[in-house]
Amino acid sequence: MPESEQTENLEPARKKQRREISQDELQEWDNYLNTRDDKETSCTEIQRHWHVTTGPPQLPDDLKQVIEADRESVETLNQLQRPIITRIEAMRVCSGPRVNSATFFEDVLEITRSVRAKEKKGAARAKQEPIPASSSIVSSSIATKPLRRMERDVSNPRATPMHGMPLALRGKSHRQKKIIPIIIVPNAATALINIHNAKDFLEDGRWINPGEKRKALAAANGGKLPREESVIISSKQLVKPQEQAQLGAKFDVFKVTDSPLKLKASEWDHVCGCFVSGNLWQFERWFSENPVEIFAKLAGFHLTFAEDRPHQTTSKWSVKQLKIGRAESARHMDRKVAKEFWKALYHFLRTSDTFLQSA
């Protein structure tokens, strides 16, 4: 007999047998399932069995409400589900409810088109304005690539190119900055040379007592001593151009400072000379605190009075002793001593491999 006819014939029996299920009947059905060989029973079979024997189960009202709420939640989740097949669909889902998916992809596409348009424009500009063949620092591989991230026209010498522009196309304003060698002097009031009188001695060739120099500077500044961490000096007054050529001098402007701890790492490569006071604490927190290593990389000098005995510490270091007269009548000899300093410093710059020899 077909299944549909069998179900219709059983309909009267269902109406008569609708009642609550007892605990004994549940135990009987559980025993029945345990005796099956396949241990599997479909929902349809179980439903048919209950409808035929005892009718559908009568659930409590609170349980019905829980089941109904769960069913509605499942239906809501099914409506929210979206098939993710392509990367674009994944991006649309990940954009979240706060982002309008339609305008979101339009913005991304607009940005992509803008970047490609700039690349094509840079490539066309590079073809119209070829790189000069005389430039030795630009390779053929750079000439064939589009010039990207250019802010202004390269034909304008005042143009400001962005980072990555070939050096051959940069104007005069973008040449390498000229190096200024650095000379360190002691930051001590008892030293014969410091930041206050260094310019007088090294540039003018006249030594002035540091204490008197401080008083003069304070008087000129209303009683307050101005604090200078560095001064710029020139060797042109003591070393003439002909002498500079003989010494192989490439520099005539120098920076004098008494604050070496404030120098940047790149500035330490430009330190060429140092005046010492004889105290080891002068080298604290330098690139090295060992005098042997320090004076292997830069020229050392010790300024002292000719009447004094040789310094016990500096006499053991690789430094040049510069002796000046103590009496005021000996000031005419200061110029000679200052010129000895410049000759020794230029000799170091010409022979040392640790200093960048470029003007």
pLDDT at 204: 93
**138 pLDDT exceeds 70?**
no
- Cross-strand pairs, 233: 254
**Which range has the top average pLDDT, 107-121, 153-167, 220-234, 324-338?**
324-338
- Per-residue pLDDT of 198-211, as tens digits, reads 999 999 999 999 99
- Alpha-helical (H) ranges within the chain are 3-9, 11-16, 23-35, 43-53, 61-80, 87-94, 101-128, 140-144, 198-204, 210-220, 241-247, 265-268, 291-294, 334-351
- In a domain? residue 267: yes
Among residues of the chain, what percentage have pLDDT more than 70? 62
**Signed CA dihedral, 184, 190, 193, 198: sign only:** positive
**Signed CA dihedral, 30, 33, 34, 39: sign only:** negative
Report the domain count for the chain.
Answer: 1
Phi then psi dihedrals of residue 261, to 5 deg = -70, -15
- In a domain? residue 256: yes
**269 pLDDT exceeds 70?**
yes
Mean of the per-residue pLDDT values of the chain: 75
Count of alpha carbons within 13 angstroms of residue 334, beta-carbon side: 23
**Signed CA dihedral, 342, 348, 349, 355: sign only:** negative
- In a domain? residue 84: no
pTM for the complete prediction?
A: 0.52
- In a domain? residue 74: no
pLDDT at 77: 77
Report the CATH number that the domain containing residue 284 is assigned in CATH.
Answer: 3.40.50.11990
- In a domain? residue 85: no
Q: Which domain holds residue 203?
A: 182-357
- In a domain? residue 224: yes
- In a domain? residue 329: yes
- In a domain? residue 250: yes
Whose CA is closest to 158, among 178, 173, 175? 173
